């Protein structure tokens, strides 16, 4: 009996603190445009979702920090943004290019995965990482790892990012918004209350302007003020689910795990060519590089594939695709390249338009579970 008690106490002492990263790419779409055209870095850049009505109809997707100084932010109408930047004669308004942003995001996420025990993709510009094992629950090590990750993204993808580090996803997300751009905020478990208490209530994810106003009407503006309400009062105001969430969030409580997304339907890479072309030799060089990129992702995730496809985006923005199913699953790079180049020749045989973007994909996966398909040895 005493041995069981001692064993349980020993296990309790061995529980290490959870360490979670939330990483957020700074003003992502606008930053992608700056990467593509470095001369934009010193100018106000506004990336817009233009509507089909033409003209300035539509909304701002994001803006860089030069534009934000003039009050331009995501979601406002484009015409309002142009009025606020009327005196800034070098302001640039650009349409969204989601394919290009996805290319940049894919490259960045491939870097991030290498730093995680568990990786959770949230969207093109954000992700969660559980790094408890590799840091041993030590927040000094976690801070160092987060800085290494930021440096790796800047050197390999040329992307600026902000990272929040804490004991759960909720506080890590709030921390990532605390010091932007290019920030790093570490909130260890014993510092959660002192970090959250002075923040505005709107910093809690999910609390919008209407909910914030309800609390303002009660004379509450900070998270510390919010903690004066017990869970029963909050449940009465917002219902049990939302009320309980707000009660826990104000105290930095969040037990939700960092969870990987479901198995991928396909792995794909697409690139905008330096010049439009339908020349086999020119296209094949980019296609082989894309195959190598996709292959790295597949091997990293211990998968083998059976379907290979390529895609053209033509100069009129229409698409053409062609794919082939192999006899057996494989993760062999030479077979991937050989099949992709064969598909390239077949598509080019009757190609009339110039190719603007070129892509490759693999699909129909099974996991190797540590037993590599024999073709991976050759």
Q: Which residues are catalytic?
A: 126
Is 130 in contact with 257 (CB distance < 8 Å)? yes
DSSP string, 45-105: EEEEEE-TT-TT-EEEEEE-HHHHTTT--TTSBHHHHHHHTTT-TT-EEEE--HHHHHHHH
Q: Which helix (H) or strand (E) holds 20?
A: strand 20-25
- The tally of CA atoms less than 13 A away on the side-chain side of residue 137 is 8
Is 19 in contact with 135 (CB distance < 8 Å)? yes
Rounded CA separation 62/72 (Å): 8
DSSP string, 266-313: EEEEEEEEEEEE--HHHHHHHHHHHHHHHHHHHHHTTEEEEEEEEEEE
Strand pairing partners for 121?
127
Chain Cα centroid distance, residue 355? 28
- How many other β-carbons are positioned within 10 Å of the β-carbon of residue 261? 9
Is 172 in contact with 128 (CB distance < 8 Å)? yes
Nearest to 327 by CA among 305, 351, 350, 312: 305
Is 103 in contact with 90 (CB distance < 8 Å)? no
């Amino acid at each position: 009996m005493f041995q069981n008690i001692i064993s349980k106490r020993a296990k309790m002492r061995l529980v290490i603190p959870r360490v979670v990263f939330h990483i957020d790419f700074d003003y992502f779409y606008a930053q992608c445009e700056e990467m593509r055209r470095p001369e934009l870095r010193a100018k106000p850049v506004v990336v817009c979702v233009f509507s089909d009505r033409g003209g300035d109809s539509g909304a701002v997707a994001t803006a860089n920090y030069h534009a934000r100084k003039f009050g331009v932010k995501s979601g406002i109408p484009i015409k309002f943004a142009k009025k606020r930047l009327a005196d800034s004669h070098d302001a640039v308004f650009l349409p969204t290019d989601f394919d290009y942003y996805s290319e940049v995001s894919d490259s960045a996420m491939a870097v991030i995965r290498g730093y995680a025990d568990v990786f959770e993709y949230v969207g093109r510009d954000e992700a969660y990482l559980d790094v408890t094992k590799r840091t041993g629950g030590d927040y000094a090590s976690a801070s160092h790892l987060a800085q290494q990750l930021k440096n790796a993204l800047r050197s390999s993808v040329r992307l600026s990012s902000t990272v929040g580090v804490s004991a759960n996803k909720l506080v890590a997300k709030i921390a990532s918004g605390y010091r932007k751009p290019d920030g790093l905020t570490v909130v260890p478990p014993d510092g959660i209350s002192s970090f959250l208490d002075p923040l505005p209530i709107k910093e809690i994810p999910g609390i919008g302007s209407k909910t914030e106003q309800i609390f303002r009407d009660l004379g509450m503006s900070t998270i510390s003020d919010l903690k004066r309400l017990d869970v029963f009062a909050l449940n009465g105001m917002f219902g049990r689910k939302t009320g309980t969430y707000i009660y826990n969030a104000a105290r930095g409580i969040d037990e939700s795990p960092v969870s990987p997304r479901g198995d991928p339907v396909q792995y794909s890479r697409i690139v905008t060519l330096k010049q439009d072309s339908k020349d086999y030799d020119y296209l094949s060089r980019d296609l082989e590089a894309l195959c190598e990129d996709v292959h790295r992702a597949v091997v990293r995730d211990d998968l083998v594939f059976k379907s290979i496809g390529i895609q053209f985006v033509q100069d009129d923005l229409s698409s053409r695709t062609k794919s082939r199913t192999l006899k057996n699953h494989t993760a062999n790079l030479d077979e991937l390249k050989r099949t992709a180049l064969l598909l390239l020749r077949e598509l080019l045989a009757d190609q009339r338009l110039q190719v603007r973007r070129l892509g490759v994909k693999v699909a129909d996966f099974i996991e190797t579970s540590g037993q590599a398909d024999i073709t991976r040895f050759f």
